[in-house]
Structure 1
Amino acid sequence: MTNASTNFNLLLILVTELTRHKLRVLLFIAVIVSALAVILSSHHNRQQNIALEQLMRQKDDLDVEWRNLVLEQRALTEHNRIEALVEKHLDMQRPGVDDEVVVRIK
């Protein structure tokens, strides 16, 4: 029973000291809460930086893909290429001087 009474006496002493020094207890709790807030805000800041880096990487990848698509579009729309495809697949040719007909409107 001495162990139980010793524990009770320690608890009683602790409670009386805490109630006697309320300002110190409040300051201690404020310091702990402030430390937890700093930890949480640092973690949130790191997560946001990681997300920003991923978005910047994705932007760079999309920019490279867009540049490649612009180059491909320019290559596919070249006049010489289109003319060669028309001659090959549609069997069309540029009209000669004798094949041209001029229509006059009054």
Structure 2
Amino acid sequence: MSKTDKSSSTNFNLLLILISDLTRNKLRVLLYLMVIVSAFAVILSTHSNRQQIIALEQQMQEKDALDVQWRNLVLEQRALTEHNRIEALVEKHLNMRRPTVDEEVVVRF
């Protein structure tokens, strides 16, 4: 036998020994597989958790931006509905003015 044939038969014998050991210790092999499956489950759940945290942080940033925009709109609304501003616009565009005391008419029922 040549050296290659010898190493190939040795590898084959080693493979047979490994398979026979695995079949004798089925519980141990099952436990090893369960540990590996559990490790992959932890990896997947951690990855999913991180993705959800990233999405949550993006939603929180968007919420903060919308809150700032809403506050600015409320301030703008208050500025636009001030009585002095409305009065000035009415006087300028509609030529309306506040009646004087002599022009006021009180109607009583």
Which TM-score applies when normalising by structure 2?
Answer: 0.85
1:91 aligns with one of 88, 95, 98: 95
Partner residue, 1:20: 24
Structure 1, unaligned stretches of length 5 or more? none
Listed as ranges, the matches of 1:61-100 within 5 Å are 61-100=65-104
Q: Match for 1:18: what amino acid?
A: L
Offset, 1:95? 1.1
Offset, 1:101? 2.0
Partner residue, 1:103: 107
Q: Deviations over 1:5-29 (max 9, x none)?
A: 5554444333211111101100110
Task: Report the RMSD for the aligned CA atoms in angstroms.
Answer: 1.6
Q: Match for 2:41: what amino acid?
A: A
Offset, 1:75? 0.3
Which TM-score applies when normalising by structure 1?
Answer: 0.87
Q: What's the % identity of the aligned pairs?
A: 76
Q: Match for 1:24: what amino acid?
A: R
State the number of aligned residues.
105
